[in-house]
């Protein structure tokens, strides 16, 4: 079975088992962007608390976050953890947004994918996973998001070597799947789901939808 068929087989199994995941949570594209930055090294429940604080303080707009004192911002996002670091990261992003796109997400989203990804990666504190999350879930650009869950699933099912880097894993998906924003969105969410519940550091294969994948792929 070739890689394209294996990846589509994985997707079909996971979707059949888990259904639509409705990712990424957020009422607006701006909320998705801010959430992608805040969710680094924490869970989504903590991010929701931080975003709720920003909304209640009436500072949840690009302009207000641009103007807010960084110490006040850090206090508001305290529930997200590493709040001083994340306040700086938010400030770096917002300042870049105003410098390049006059604070406008729609203008930012009109930028071509390659230029926009390079721009996001130039922002201090935004790595590849965060940049690709913003591009896929908010800007709706066809980029595959890679995280620790994804790598664990791929390595354990012998689809990639252990030493594959982020860009190699991203290319593995993009070169073997149709270029489809909705597919990339749902696929990544499903991989996170199977990684959280079955493909844990201590694996639980008995009930996993992918338990016999290796045997069928040979």
- How high is the pLDDT of residue 213? 83
Residue 143: which of 100, 110, 112, 98 has the closest Cα?
112
CB-CB contact of 122 with 116 (8 Å): no
CA dist., res. 95 & res. 89, Å (int):
10
Domains of the chain: 3-22+144-217 (1.10.1670.10), 29-138 (1.10.340.30)
The separation between the first and the last C-alpha atoms of the chain, rounded to the nearest angstrom, is 7
Per run of 10 residues, the mean pLDDT along the chain (length 218 residues) is 92 96 89 95 93 98 98 98 97 98 97 97 97 97 96 94 96 97 97 95 92 70
Q: What is the pTM (predicted TM-score) of this model?
A: 0.94
- How high is the pLDDT of residue 25? 79
Dihedral over Cα of 177, 182, 187, 192: its sign: positive
CA dist., res. 19 & res. 196, Å (int):
15
The set of residues, in sequence order, having a beta carbon less than 8 Å from that of 2 and lying 6+ positions away, is: 176
Catalogue the long-range contacts made by 152-159 (C-beta closer than 8 Å, 24 or more residues apart): 152/195, 152/199, 152/201, 153/10, 153/191, 153/194, 153/195, 153/199, 153/210, 156/199, 156/203, 157/10, 157/210, 157/213, 157/214, 157/217, 158/214, 159/3, 159/6
Helix axes 148-156, 166-176, angle to 10 degrees: 70
């Amino acid at each position: 079975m070739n890689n394209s068929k294996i990846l589509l087989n994985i997707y079909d199994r996971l979707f059949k088992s888990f259904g639509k995941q409705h990712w990424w949570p957020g009422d607006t594209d701006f909320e998705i962007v801010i959430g992608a930055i805040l969710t680094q090294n924490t869970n989504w429940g903590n991010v929701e608390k931080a975003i709720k604080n920003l909304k209640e303080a009436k500072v949840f707009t690009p302009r207000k976050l641009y103007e807010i004192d960084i110490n006040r911002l850090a206090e508001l996002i305290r529930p997200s953890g590493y709040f001083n670091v994340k306040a700086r990261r938010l400030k770096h992003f917002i300042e870049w947004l105003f410098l390049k796109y006059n604070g406008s997400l729609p203008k930012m989203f009109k930028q071509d994918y390659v230029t926009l990804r390079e721009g996001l990666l130039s922002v201090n504190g935004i790595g590849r996973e965060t940049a690709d999350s913003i591009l896929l879930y908010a800007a709706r650009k066809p980029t595959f998001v890679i995280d620790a869950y994804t790598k664990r699933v791929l390595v354990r099912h012998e689809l990639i070597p252990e030493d594959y880097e982020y860009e190699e894993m991203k290319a593995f998906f993009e070169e073997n799947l149709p270029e489809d924003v909705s597919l990339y969105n749902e696929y990544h969410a499903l991989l996170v789901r199977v990684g959280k519940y079955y493909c844990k550091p201590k694996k639980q294969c008995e009930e996993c939808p992918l338990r016999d994948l290796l045997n069928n792929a040979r």
